[in-house]
Amino acid sequence: MYIAWLLKRPVFLIFKYQMKSFPISSNFLNLRGFKQDMNKVADRLNNIEESQTIAMSKLCRELQEQGHDVINLSLGEPDFITPDNIRNAGKKAIDEGFTHYTPISGFQDLRKAICEKFKRENKLVYTPEQIVVSTGAKQSIANVVLSIVNPGDEVVVPKPYWVSYSQIIKLADGIPVYIDANIDTNFKISPEQLEQAISEKTRMFIFSSPCNPTGSVYSMEELQALADVFKKHPRVLILSDEIYEHIRFIPEHFSMAQVNEIKDRVIIVNGVSKGYAMTGWRIGYIAAPVWIAKACDKMQGQFTSGTSSISQKAALEAVSSDWSMYKNMQESFRTRRNMVVSMMKEIKGLKVNDPQGAFYVFPDCSYFFGKTDGTTVISNSTDLCMYLLKDALISVVTGEAFGNDNCFRLSYATSDHLLKLAIERMKISLEKLH
């Protein structure tokens, strides 16, 4: 700011004029431009966007620190503490000296346990060489995309999508190709839509089930119908994000990898963050064809190498144990979902479906576009989210971040009391718009 002010002053203009005949004038006068160029970040960073879920949560925390009573429903993180047996496994690992570098793809015993988990819970057979453990499922996804997608390759992504899919594709110089789905179809795509989206440039398809942000879950029949399309396009790989596998409100989880005819083209991404309340431990993993697993091992070896030894030993306890031990968390989420959906359906103007998994509601709020409280005009979902933050002291995330500007995402991964209070505030606030 001082430099900008100085450039406008007559004294500087005189100095600049006098410097014209001075031998170092050209270098001096180029310093400002040189500094700007020196501070320029790489183009790839300008081509991606900041995560709006993280940005909204950051804004919420700043307001809370200023003393505002903001209820944060923007971040997808279980509010439970990691179960005792898992925490004890981490403590034991410290006491036993597991404090050294780890194999890039993860400890052998953990990768074996993940294979057993797939066999026990999903009826899928994998070997340890097909498993790569990473620092969270987000890194797992990035490893796969960066290992497979070449510049100009197309990656088909159903909308709404998790915010990082599109940005990771762009980092790989790939081209996201979107398929629109809306609340009337429970945010699921049809085989016909998939067929139309695939071209000779398509290299990958990325989706999540249960889905972030919608909570939608594909049935086995629906996955089979999509798989029938993939059978016609053998070059297309399928990345199936199943991180919310254990947070579902239907009896069984289905994976695209259970369709035998295309299993050798499916990469499953999973982890322990959501189902075991282990977000801070940062453990994700893939199950994939060997050639893809080896590629991800090579990629990861140049970024982070192997992930935390202590976290891996805690994850070993998690995936080795019977998941029914942690079912109380799933039931708590079910209770919260039922309460939130019921209350939101009573708010005039919101269109709400019944999510079958994850811990999100993704209501259509387009009824409020063009409405005002006399001061603020709501033009889109971003405006509505900022209005709710200001007027109701509720933090939710604009649907624009997920590729659907008619909606917003609300996370119910917090206490029943705060959820009830938040929806009551939301109702009062939205009733002011006319």
Does residue 198 share a domain with residue 140? Answer: yes
Of 289, 321, 353, the domain-final residue: 321
Q: For residue 394, what is the domain's CATH number? A: 3.90.1150.10
Q: For residue 140, what is the domain's CATH number? A: 3.40.640.10
Model pTM? 0.89
Does residue 58 share a domain with residue 112? Answer: no
Does residue 249 share a domain with residue 396? Answer: no
In a domain, 36, yes or no: no
Q: What is the pLDDT of residue 35?
A: 58
Long-range Cβ contact pairs of 423-428 (< 8 A, separation 24 or more): 423/340, 423/343, 423/344, 423/347, 424/343, 425/71, 425/392, 425/393, 425/394, 426/344, 426/347, 426/388, 426/392, 426/394, 427/343, 427/346, 427/347, 428/392
Does residue 412 share a domain with residue 265? Answer: no
Does residue 384 share a domain with residue 290? Answer: no
Does residue 127 share a domain with residue 203? Answer: yes
Does residue 175 share a domain with residue 314? Answer: yes
Q: What is the CA radius of gyration of the chain?
A: 25
In a domain, 26, yes or no: no
Long-range Cβ contact pairs of 341-347 (< 8 A, separation 24 or more): 343/420, 343/423, 343/424, 343/427, 344/410, 344/423, 344/426, 346/427, 347/423, 347/426, 347/427, 347/430
What is the extent of the structural domain holding 140?
99-321
Does residue 265 share a domain with residue 398? Answer: no
Q: Residue with structure tokens 């999510």?
A: 355
Q: Could you tell me the mean pLDDT of each successive run of 10 residues in the chain, 434 residues long?
A: 37 36 48 65 84 77 85 92 98 98 98 98 98 98 98 98 96 97 97 98 98 98 98 98 97 97 98 97 98 98 97 98 92 97 98 97 98 96 95 95 97 97 98 96
Of 300, 321, 342, the domain-final residue: 321
Report the candidate in 78, 134, 90 with the shortest Cα–Cα distance to residue 315: 90
How many domains does the chain fold into? 2
Q: What is the pLDDT of residue 40?
A: 86
Of 296, 321, 346, the domain-final residue: 321
